[in-house]
Amino acid sequence: MSEHVPPVVRWTRRLEDATELDVVVAAIEPPVEKVFGSGIRGRLLRGEWLGHAVHPLLTDLVLGSWTSASLLDLWGGEGSRTSAQRLVGTGLVAAPLTAWTGWAEWSGTEPREKRVGVVHAATVASSVGLYGSSWMARRRGHHRAGVSLALAGAAIGGAAAYLGGHLATARDVGSHHLAFDDPATGH
């Protein structure tokens, strides 16, 4: 009896095998490696100084800020609008460093992970764009439009987070120090 494979897993496997994405990977790989993946900058961005990847920590800051903003938007009432805008802004301020740490991790991966990574990056970029538009709309006094844009950003960000989680968990992408490995298994 074969095990049922959820549709999202089948889709993710197809994405990993989508060799047509190799054109995009080949185009961006050299500059990403040069800027984010090598030398002391790459070691810092990967978190070698910490003993494991910095990217997940920063994604928690970005996603936590945006999720908190959405909770305030939906249930905080009119008095929470300024706080929600600040939380959207906090996520936007943290997003570039978060992306840089992600590119540093991506630079050391294999082709299957790179394919998923470029789609992850594209969905993240779309989400950031929507949150940036949300922040601008709020700043101009268009709170309702800002909320709508943030919720759209959250939906796309959810897909991005799924792909990032897949890379970190299923594909074990992420720097770690050998001191954390179990001597008996090497993992």
> For 5-15, what is each residue's pLDDT tens digit?
999 999 999 99
Question: Residue 169 domain-assigned?
Answer: yes
Question: Residue 13 domain-assigned?
Answer: no
pLDDT at 151 over 90: yes
Q: Per the structure, how many domains does the chain have? A: 1
Question: Residue 64 domain-assigned?
Answer: yes
Question: Residue 133 domain-assigned?
Answer: yes
Question: Residue 28 domain-assigned?
Answer: yes
Q: Using CA atoms, how far apart are residues 185 and 187, in angstroms rounded to an integer?
A: 5
Question: Residue 116 domain-assigned?
Answer: yes
For range 53-81, the mean pLDDT: 97
- Which residues, other chains included, contact 124 with Cβ-Cβ below 8 Å and sequence gap of 6+? 99, 102, 157, 160, 164
For 100, the 3-state DSSP assignment is helix
What is the pLDDT confidence band of residue 164, given thresholds at 50, 70 and 90?
Answer: very high
pLDDT of residue 43: 93
Question: Residue 140 domain-assigned?
Answer: yes
Query: Residue 116: which domain range?
Result: 22-175
Q: Using CA atoms, how far apart are residues 59 and 178, in angstroms rounded to an integer?
A: 23
**Percentage of the chain lying above the pLDDT 70 cut:** 97
pLDDT in tens, 33-66: 999 999 999 999 999 999 889 999 999 999 999 9
Of 102-116, 126-140, 168-182, the least confident = 168-182
pLDDT of residue 1: 42
Question: Residue 92 domain-assigned?
Answer: yes
pTM for the model stands at 0.92
